A and B are shown apart, each in its own frame.
Chain A
Amino acid sequence: MNLLPVLPILIPLFTASSMLVAWRSRRLHRVLGAAGALCNLAAAIALFAAVEREGIVVLRLGNWPAPFGIVFVADLFAAILVAASAVVGAAVAVYSLGGMDPERESFGYYPLLHILLMGVSGAFLSGDIFNLYVWFEVMLIASFVLLALGGEKEQMEGAIKYVTLNLVSSAIFLAAVGILYGTAGTLNLADLAVKLREVDNPGLLNALAMLFLVAFGIKAAIFPLFFWLPASYHTPHVAVSAVLAGLLTKVGVYALIRVFTLLFVRDPAFTHGLILGLAGVTMITGVLGAAAQSDFRRILSFHIVSQIGYMVMGLGLLSPLALAGAIYFTVHNIMAKTNLFLVSGIVQRDSGRLSLADLGGLYKDRPALSALFLIPALSLAGVPPLSGFFGKLALVRAGLELRSYPIVAAALAVSLLTLFSMTKIWAEAFWKPSPMPEAEGRRRDPAPATLYAPVIAMAAVTVAMGLWAEPAFALAQRAAAQLSDPAGYIRAVLGGGP
């Protein structure tokens, strides 16, 4: 039995529970928080290497054969995302050493962060749709507490909106799982893929597909279900914003891609056509929302919505090239978006504010920080040779091949508007002279290395993904090939030919 697929779940669980034993020792929490996240990163990379070498890795718990027992399945797509989320986890854990305030630390910030990482890894690796629901809940309850931790008035309002809409989404997801079980009589994803082929009721299948689309669409923040995101993501501590922005919506995107490549592929003209339309509107509304904002983190929050549109566009086009583009883009976005939020945290620490009107003069005071902002910002806008360019290039090419010209036009126009928003932040926060009198809420001392190290590391990943785009994209194409041909997944889980 290969235990590798559960390590990215067990390590955060073990880390978090050992911190609970030593609840009062804040120092131990900090040490364990960073060490556990780095171990998790090592395990995730080991899992990724194993999947890359041997193909799909399946763990049958208790050695029960597949449709009866619980399985964890790591195909290339899941392994890539587990590795990316472990990178985010490690970066945020190290960043928190210098950026988190003692109050939040002593109220269990680090254990919650690890529970969140556990939920995210579990959702990626689960091979069973009910377990996917359970992992979603693990992740959500941790994110609820992280979002409300600190208890400021704004946070409370943001948390109410976030909690309510996510609970509605969970209720819909659960209902969809129930109906799916009633229809197919199984919950194992691979077994469902086989059984759903024989279900002779296209209307019911499409209705189920729509229930899943709504449930995961709320979590992924696609149009018209995204309103909770910009209303809540700018309220918590910036390290929390960074980890939520980097990971949570992507779990929703992952679930959408998994369900709509494995289960609901019978009527792509309807389901994937609808997804494609939603993707276009998601991009446009997100970027227009961002253009209207004038707060650093609110702009970034709206851009999450807009970028989700690109990932979902890859799913809507459903060609191997489009899926590869979506996978590449998702990883790029996890890195760039987390990094931008981390940079906004350093800006907030140094200037004491995040409203663009009050910021200014950062280029003069902090040239290194300005460069570190530019890398993910230009990457997000899709400027070559950074990673965002290649993701968008693949998606646009896939769109042109399939003659979906409206979505290609939307993708290109949104890219331009993204560049506009990023230059707005650049011009306002970094270039223009500071509007505030000297020394008002500003800090002269440079931020500690624990804040800069994760930002530099993630910027390096962004640059590397752009410079070595060919091997990175070849990997994404292999992952997409596994997704477009579910037979391999089914055979790996169920054993034998379906």
Chain B
Amino acid sequence: METVLAVVVGGLYAAGIYLMLRRSLVKLLFGLALMSHAANLLIFTAAGFHGEAPPLVPEGSRALLPPYADPLPQALILTAIVISFAVLAFGLALFRRAYSEVGTDDLDQMKATDT
């Protein structure tokens, strides 16, 4: 399972970086989205798999019994997904506006503020 996910995470990063190196605004945004998905999966993978049982204290017992799934990475990922969703929605609106304001979606043309 770890191996498969590691390959998936690596693939997502590679695809994200490749898209970000293209010249189109839309591909840049897709690249950012893939990067954040890769980071989320990476948290899930790096935290390790300790079992599939839900982390609930069984009746009559006073503590969790292993093996149970660690709930914290999932909480982290949930937070990160919400944040990246909001940021990407903003990014989409910003890029749309930038496209109509600058008149091109070619990043190589957007050199007016460079020094």
Contacts and interface: CB of A to CB of B under 8 A. Distances in A.
Given A167-B91, A182-B46, A158 B113 contact: yes
A232 B48 CA distance: 40
A293 interface: yes
Contact of B36 (A171, A179, A181): A171
Nearest to B47: A182
Contacts of A164: 20, 28, 32
B36 to A, nearest CB: 5
B78 to A, nearest CB: 12
Given A156-B101, A163-B94, A235-B113, A181 B87 contact: no
Interface string B29-62: 0001001101110111111100000000000000
Contact of B32 (A159, A167, A230): A167
Contact of A157 (B32, B36, B86, B112): B112
A32 interface: no
Contact of B95 (A134, A160, A174, A177): A160
Interface string A164-198: 10011011101101110111000100000000000
Given A144-B94, A151-B97, A231-B113, A178 B102 contact: no
Contacts of B47: 178, 181-182
A179 B101 contact: no
Interface residues of B, number: 39
A150 to B, nearest CB: 11
A231 B114 contact: yes
Contact of A234 (B42, B43, B87, B113): B113
A174 B80 contact: yes
Contacts of A156: 94, 97-98, 101-102
Contacts of B114: 231
A179 B42 contact: yes
A157 B43 contact: no
B86 to A, nearest CB: 7
A221 B87 CA distance: 21
Nearest to B28: A164
A171 B32 contact: yes
A179 B46 CA distance: 5
A130 interface: yes
| Chain B interface helix/strand/loop/mixed | helix
A69 to B, nearest CB: 13
B79 interface: yes
A141 B87 contact: yes
A298 B110 contact: no
A154 interface: yes
A137 B83 contact: yes
A236 B93 CA distance: 18
B79 to A, nearest CB: 7
Given A164-B28, A164-B32, A178 B113 contact: no
A145 interface: yes
B39 A178 contact: yes
A444 interface: no
Interface in B79-93: 79-80, 83, 86-87, 90-91
A134 B102 contact: no
Nearest to A301: B115
A486 interface: no
A494 to B, nearest CB: 18
Contacts of A163: 90-91, 94
Contacts of B73: 178, 181
Interface string A134-146: 1001001100110
A231 B115 CA distance: 7
A298 B112 CA distance: 13
Contacts of B80: 133, 174
B35 A178 contact: no
Nearest to B103: A153
Contacts of A187: 72, 76
A289 interface: yes
Q: Which of A153, A161, A168, A174 has the most CB of B within 10 A?
A: A174
A240 to B, nearest CB: 15
A230 B112 contact: no
A181 B48 CA distance: 10
A329 to B, nearest CB: 25
A171 B39 contact: yes
Contacts of B86: 141
B76 A157 contact: no
Contacts of A177: 43, 76
Q: Which of B39, B83, B113, B114 has the most CB of A within 10 A?
A: B113
Given A179-B46, A231-B115, 7 more contacts: A137-B87, A151-B97, A158-B113, A160-B95, A163-B91, A164-B28, A167-B36
Interface of B: 20, 25, 28, 32, 35-36, 38-40, 42-48, 72-73, 76, 79-80, 83, 86-87, 90-91, 94-95, 97-98, 101-102, 107, 110-115
Interface of A: 130, 133-134, 137, 140-141, 144-145, 148, 151-154, 156-161, 163-164, 167-168, 170-172, 174-175, 177-179, 181-183, 187, 230-232, 234-235, 289, 292-293, 298, 302
10 residue pairs, one from A and one from B, having the closest CB atoms: A178-B43, A182-B46, A156-B98, A174-B39, A171-B35, A175-B39, A156-B101, A157-B110, A178-B46, A158-B113
